[in-house]
């Protein structure tokens, strides 16, 4: 089943709550989406308050059901730096764990690319991912190229450091 996408510039409270729940579920299922499992809803909610900004950022939500329940989402972020006006950062790329392996992540990235092409002057998409999980292979299959790596940038445990991998897609 294909996703239906919607771009939001303002986030209704009920959608925000559903996205936070999805973010918690994805993290606790082992997803590398800004937290380390186990994570509590309150912790994610505090980050979501900042992450789901309005104005220059766009929230892209994919749903498969008529009620609009989110199955995947990401945030398209303006860098807020004049020399990077031509670039958007994809943040918080999340697919509901129950939909993993169904191609929703690929659909989400393709839609983000389509949306970015409609933004005036945008030529490049940039994202980062956590090393050690093979995520760079997934993004590579979606057309992204690894353009840099910061060793040991992320500490996910007392003695568990991961690289932060930077990837880009020219539009």
Q: What is the pLDDT of residues 13-37, one digit of tens each?
A: 899 999 999 999 999 999 999 999 9
Phi, psi of 18, deg, nearest 5: -70, -35
> Does pLDDT of 133 surpass 70?
yes
Cα separation, 87 vs 79, in Å, equals 7
Alpha carbon 47 to chain centroid, angstroms: 13
CATH label of the domain that carries residue 92: 3.40.630.30
Query: Residue 93 belongs to what domain range?
Result: 4-170
The predicted pLDDT at position 55 comes to 67
Helices (H), 12-120: 13-28, 41-51, 104-117
Q: State how far the Cα of 80 lies from the Cα of 59, in Å rounded to an integer.
A: 16
Q: Could you say which DSSP state residue 33 is in?
A: S
Domain count, the chain: 1
pLDDT over threshold 70, residue 53: no
């Amino acid at each position: 089943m294909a996703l239906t996408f919607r771009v939001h510039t303002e986030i209704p409270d009920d959608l925000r709550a559903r996205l936070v729940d999805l973010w918690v579920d994805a993290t606790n299922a082992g997803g590398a989406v800004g937290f380390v499992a186990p994570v509590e809803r309150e912790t994610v909610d505090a980050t979501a308050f900042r992450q789901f900004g309005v104005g220059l950022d766009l929230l892209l939500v994919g749903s498969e059901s008529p009620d609009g329940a989110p199955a995947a989402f990401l945030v398209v972020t303006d860098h807020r730096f004049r020399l990077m006006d031509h670039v958007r950062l994809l943040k918080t790329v999340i697919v509901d764990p129950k939909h993993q392996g169904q191609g929703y992540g690929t659909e989400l990235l393709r839609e983000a690319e389509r949306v970015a092409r409609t933004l005036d002057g945008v030529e490049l998409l940039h994202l980062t991912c956590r090393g050690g999980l093979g995520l760079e292979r997934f993004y590579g299959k979606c057309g992204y190229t690894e353009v840099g790596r910061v060793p040991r940038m992320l500490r996910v445990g007392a003695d568990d450091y991961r690289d932060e991998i930077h990837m880009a897609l020219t539009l």
